[in-house]
Structure 1
């Protein structure tokens, strides 16, 4: 009896130190959030589910929750069995879900702005434990209200846009591509540091995305006088060219007439000598 007690006291700590077979499950949505969807197109979300060999999935659930509001409203979009043997069931005609060996997908056709929100995929185990992953889905917005402002003290133009999705910024100078002699654009394209002096010309900021583009311009006041001067100089040059051409033409005519008169005088002298 004492030997059994001695062995139990020795074996018990060893059992506690032995590694247990842990039960774990990992769920993650593969889409990079936030996911922006153009209305009328299809939304496709992919989720990866990784479970240990000891665990058995019983059901996969796709849900959507309102992103804003005091009391988020959650609705079920589709449910799938724990295996790919049975099909998934969507709650609406435009909702389709699928279950694969390593994950699940959710597709919503003809996306509408009301379909935006916080999408949740939940994996439920046989013992009742649940693991979820979330992804924000929003409407893809067109570019709105482009504006250009200037920081005169730093010779910097700043382009801003209201709320368009994935805006791309680019600059034009006098409606042509911008060159390094005019200025340098920041990495995100929103700022133009003007390097030419004085600041002159029409600066245009163009902002676009998948749904179109919009522009805004800034016109430097100094350009008006410089344009007038350049026009005056061009007019003066044209007048000088016309005067020069006219003078050369007159000289040629005079030379031609003088040559004709000399010929007639020589002919008359020759006739007089013969008589």
Structure 2
């Protein structure tokens, strides 16, 4: 009887360990955030249905030491400052107006009703400069017809062929980054066993001299109107003064 009970206990413990309490971050990579921005750390808490979360705690470990940021034991939870908030049962931590003292290793610790704890960590570093934005032209030659080969993409900018040596081309040649390929007439040529396909994208030229001339004409017109209005007012007042005399 005892042997049977022990076997059942071992199986129950194994099931609890296999399906029990756990916490992890959905994004496994370290985070980078710029000063003054908002930091959002989202963790995923897994537990078996019979388990209850007793407490969720967030801490940050920096060169200056470790400090408790927030504790959740029921909504809305407790935080250590107005910049800090926790949501989704303590699984999400938000810090607004990030400062130098906020960079470090963050730890979320989850405790169930039996006192069992599990934790996960995430490193957060300072973003020294923002990422560079990029505008791309994509040559899309997708179709439903089967073929044995992949299309070879050729790009022309103002009639001149560009390559990775002169521009930035990615995704097997299908994307052209415009920052390094300045022009007005962009041509995409697709060559495969299905045939040759050509597409154009034209950016209208911006005629600065005409734009400047039009702006100057508008300003002169407004100034002339004001001058004529002032002359008319002065003439009217002078005529009224003579009539009164």
Give the TM-score of the pair, scaled to structure 2. 0.49
Give the TM-score of the pair, scaled to structure 1. 0.44
Q: Which has the larger radius of gyration?
A: 1
